């Protein structure tokens, strides 16, 4: 069985690589910045090996119990530092370290030549360590510390090219919006602190996560600690933080802009880890959510609405990374909807498959950018001949995203759709039906924008790349910030260091679904529903409830329904865009013919306008900001200027008395002596 020291090493290895790069490589060996990449890859490779060892131990022994270290006692609640290693943790450790390792290998080729390469790998190491610390935390305060550190790390990575105004603005936007969601999470923690005495009376710790689970169970002796409306508000507070990190409506506006960071950053934190942290948070506290039907309903409906809304905006984006950004928001909506319906294991299974195929899609976007110098699909086309490996892998990942059998996305997405149709009894039937309808519509839309992206990028004739883009913009200065990361102007396949991790993710996107395939697993010695059953049984074991969550048998009719929906979207996209890319003159996207709808979608339902113009600049916050600005400029600055004016001018006035005449000084001394004598007499 794996030891506690080995599990701590999974977190400490990337943290150590961050410290080594920041304190040794960057200040002393920056000219050999490739060392930073090698150190990061070595640390993450070892961490991945330890994560697989941990997963094996959890499979054999289920939960691994380690005694946490008590740090502080605050009002009867103890803040601990310790490990919570259950099936959810074990799966997430492999996902985080595995994807992060492949992204760092990819970065060796993609970021080659960047003058800040050491800083890049330092930030990546810090982010990965923060995410691993979040996954391993046994105490909600410990979790919150790493939760905020993930936010800081993402701010640094999104704004990595801070000299670009768009990148700096995107980093600030991501940081502020996710902090808004974190206010709710913080309020939930404060409520637990107020309940510390009740927890202590029941022999529990208000900050210890397994104790929070138990306190929320109605059949537990301490169930009265967390119940009723208070339990609902606690769950919604936690969900608020999760919605911010996972880009759920209405806190989704930051994620598309975050594509201003380097493409490997998008592949890691905006496809597989940071945005998945919100889903992980709800899953971590699922025993709390499942006892509040109102909170579950909110999570399910918000997730379903986010899935279809974000997918619709992906239809009209011309920037390939922004198409994938809205796709990410949509798929996170699927996961949240699944958790809201009670499909705990299916949601985490989809998180794992999504990490593989979406990270691959982002890497594919980086590969075509490396060749063309642009992310604008209007200036791509015809790349399948020049980038055949990238093309094949993007098609595999795209079809997995759409949910085509037998690729990984099919198995995880179908399990969510089947569970939504059947219902779980944790929410009302109408909630399950509405969620199912939204998610099934999302399959059609997802298929359409995915095939649109593939056709515009790889088919037809090459449309000029970055040179044509700049020519159309008339002058270089008008090029959008972040239009290209690196490269451009050489249409050939990416280097081996970029292709190798893409191939590995392609294999995962194709084969990961077999872990839960109920038809063939037993034939190769793996139990049916292995991964979903493993997760569900782990949850039941943590609560002392055997068979707590059920897995679903494969449904041929649901597979047929979802496949027909996917093929419908694929067929519509091919019918529209295959003809479009064959035309010599491609002045406008075919969807622009539906002008009002296209405008609404391209303007992102005017939500950015609402947030940035109406609320921030002209609304309540705008009034506050304007008032504070007036106070700062007129009162604060005026007071400082007045003090400066006073001392500057009083010095001039006093200087008039410095005449240099001895007799004048003697007269002054005489009057001073007389004044002192007079004062003494009067006293």
Residues 145-172 have pLDDT tens digits of 999 999 999 999 999 998 889 899 999 9
The CB-side HSE value for 98 (13 A sphere, CA atoms) comes to 21
- Closest Cα to residue 179, out of 232, 241, 117? 241
**1-10: pLDDT as tens digits:** 788 999 999 9
Q: Evaluate if residue 545 carries a pLDDT over 50.
A: no
Predicted pLDDT at 482: 45
* Mean pLDDT along residues 358-386: 89
**479-518: pLDDT as tens digits:** 444 455 665 556 788 889 999 999 999 999 998 877 766 5
Predicted pLDDT at 611: 81
* Mean pLDDT along residues 45-52: 95
Q: Evaluate if residue 20 carries a pLDDT over 90.
A: yes
Predicted pLDDT at 183: 94
> Lowest-pLDDT range, 261-265, 468-472, 543-547, 611-615?
543-547
Confidence of residue 546 (pLDDT cuts 50, 70, 90): very low
**298-352: pLDDT as tens digits:** 999 999 999 999 999 999 999 999 999 999 999 999 999 999 999 988 899 999 9
- Closest Cα to residue 338, out of 408, 269, 430, 432? 432
Confidence of residue 201 (pLDDT cuts 50, 70, 90): confident
Q: Evaluate if residue 522 carries a pLDDT over 70.
A: no
Predicted pLDDT at 620: 66
Q: Positive or negative, the Cα torsion across 532, 536, 541, 542?
A: positive
- Structure-block tokens of residue 574: 């091919």
Confidence of residue 614 (pLDDT cuts 50, 70, 90): confident
Q: Evaluate if residue 544 carries a pLDDT over 60.
A: no
- Structure-block tokens of residue 681: 């007499």
Predicted pLDDT at 360: 94
Predicted pLDDT at 16: 95
Q: Positive or negative, the Cα torsion across 517, 518, 521, 523?
A: negative
Residue with tokens 């002392």: 544
Distance CA 185, CA 152 (A): 16
Predicted pLDDT at 548: 45
Predicted pLDDT at 621: 66
- Closest Cα to residue 442, out of 343, 345, 351, 333? 333
Q: Evaluate if residue 452 carries a pLDDT over 90.
A: yes
Predicted pLDDT at 524: 52
**Helix H or strand E segment including 73:** strand 69-74
Predicted pLDDT at 451: 95
Are the CB atoms for 296 and 426 separated by under 8 Å? yes
Ranked by mean pLDDT, the top range of 128-137, 369-378, 544-553 is 128-137
Predicted pLDDT at 336: 95
Q: Evaluate if residue 470 carries a pLDDT over 70.
A: no
Predicted pLDDT at 394: 95
- Structure-block tokens of residue 464: 């000029």
Predicted pLDDT at 476: 44
Q: Evaluate if residue 547 carries a pLDDT over 60.
A: no
- Closest Cα to residue 315, out of 575, 611, 592, 567? 592
Predicted pLDDT at 633: 87
- Closest Cα to residue 371, out of 230, 486, 488? 488
pLDDT higher at 444 or 423: 444
Cis before residue 406, ω within 30 degrees of 0?
yes
Q: Evaluate if residue 539 carries a pLDDT over 90.
A: no
Q: For the whole model, what pTM was predicted?
A: 0.87
Confidence of residue 15 (pLDDT cuts 50, 70, 90): very high
Mean pLDDT, the chain, whole residue set: 86
């Amino acid at each position: 069985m794996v030891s506690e020291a080995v599990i701590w090493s999974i977190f400490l290895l990337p943290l150590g690589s961050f410290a080594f790069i920041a304190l040794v490589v960057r200040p002393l060996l920056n000219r050999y910045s490739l060392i930073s990449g090698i150190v990061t890859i070595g640390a993450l490779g070892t961490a991945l090996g330890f994560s697989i060892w941990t997963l094996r131990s959890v499979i054999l022994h289920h939960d691994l119990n380690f005694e946490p270290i008590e740090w502080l006692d605050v009002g009867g609640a103890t803040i601990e530092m310790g490990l919570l290693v259950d099936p959810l943790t074990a799966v997430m450790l492999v996902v985080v370290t595995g994807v992060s390792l492949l992204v760092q290998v990819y970065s060796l080729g993609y970021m080659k030549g960047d003058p800040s390469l050491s800083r890049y790998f330092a930030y990546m190491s810090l982010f990965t360590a923060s995410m691993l610390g979040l996954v391993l935390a046994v105490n909600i305060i410990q979790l919150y510390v790493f939760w905020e550190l993930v936010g800081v790390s993402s701010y640094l990575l999104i704004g990595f090219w801070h000299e670009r105004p768009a990148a700096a603005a995107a980093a600030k936007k991501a940081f502020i919006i996710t902090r808004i969601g974190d206010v709710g999470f913080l309020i939930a923690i404060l409520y637990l602190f107020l309940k510390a005495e009740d927890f202590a009376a029941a022999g529990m710790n208000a900050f210890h996560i397994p104790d929070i689970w138990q306190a929320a169970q109605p059949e537990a002796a301490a169930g009265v600690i967390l119940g009723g409306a208070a339990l609902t508000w606690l769950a919604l507070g936690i969900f608020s933080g999760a919605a911010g990190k996972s880009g759920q409506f209405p806190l989704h506006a930051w994620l598309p802009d975050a594509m201003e960071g380097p493409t490997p950053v998008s592949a890691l934190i905006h496809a597989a880890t940071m945005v998945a942290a919100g889903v992980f948070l709800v899953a971590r506290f699922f025993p709390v959510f499942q006892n509040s039907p109102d909170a579950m309903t909110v999570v399910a409906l918000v997730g379903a609405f986010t899935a279809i809304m974000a997918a619709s905006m992906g239809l009209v984006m011309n920037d390939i990374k922004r198409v994938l950004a809205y796709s990410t928001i949509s798929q996170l909506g699927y996961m949240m909807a699944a958790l809201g319906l009670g499909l705990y294991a299916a949601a985490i299974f989809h998180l794992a498959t999504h990490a593989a195929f979406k990270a691959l899609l982002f890497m594919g976007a980086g590969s075509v950018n490396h060749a063309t110098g642009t992310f604008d699909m209007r200036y791509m086309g015809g790349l399948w001949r020049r980038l055949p490996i990238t093309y094949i892998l993007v098609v595999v990942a795209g079809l997995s995203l759409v949910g085509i059998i037998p690729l990984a996305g099919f198995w995880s997405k179908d399990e969510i759709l089947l569970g939504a149709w059947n219902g779980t009894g944790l929410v009302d039937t109408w909630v399950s039906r509405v969620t199912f309808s939204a998610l099934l519509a999302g399959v059609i839309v997802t298929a359409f924008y995915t095939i649109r992206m593939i056709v515009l990028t790889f088919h037809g004739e090459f449309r000029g790349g970055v040179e044509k883009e700049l020519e159309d913009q008339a002058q270089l200065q008008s090029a959008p910030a972040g239009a290209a990361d690196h490269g451009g102007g050489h249409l050939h396949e990416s280097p081996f260091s970029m292709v190798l991790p893409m191939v590995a993710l392609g294999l995962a996107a194709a084969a990961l679904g077999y872990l839960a395939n109920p038809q063939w697993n037993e034939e190769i010695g793996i139990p049916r529903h292995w991964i979903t059953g493993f997760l569900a049984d782990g949850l039941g074991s943590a609560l002392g409830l055997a068979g707590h969550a059920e897995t679903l048998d494969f449904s041929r009719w649901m597979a047929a329904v979802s496949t027909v929906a996917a093929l419908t979207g694929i067929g519509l996209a091919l019918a529209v865009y295959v003809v479009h890319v064959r035309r010599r003159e491609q002045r406008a996207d075919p969807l622009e013919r539906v002008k009002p709808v296209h405008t609404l979608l391209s303007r992102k339902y005017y939500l950015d306008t609402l947030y940035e113009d109406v609320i921030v600049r002209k609304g309540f916050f705008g009034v506050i900001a304007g008032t504070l600005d007036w106070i700062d400029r007129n009162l604060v600055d005026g007071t400082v200027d007045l003090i400066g004016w006073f001392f500057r001018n009083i010095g001039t006035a006093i200087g008039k008395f410095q005449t240099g005449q001895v007799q004048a000084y003697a007269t002054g001394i005489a009057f001073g002596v007389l004044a002192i004598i007079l004062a003494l007499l009067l006293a």
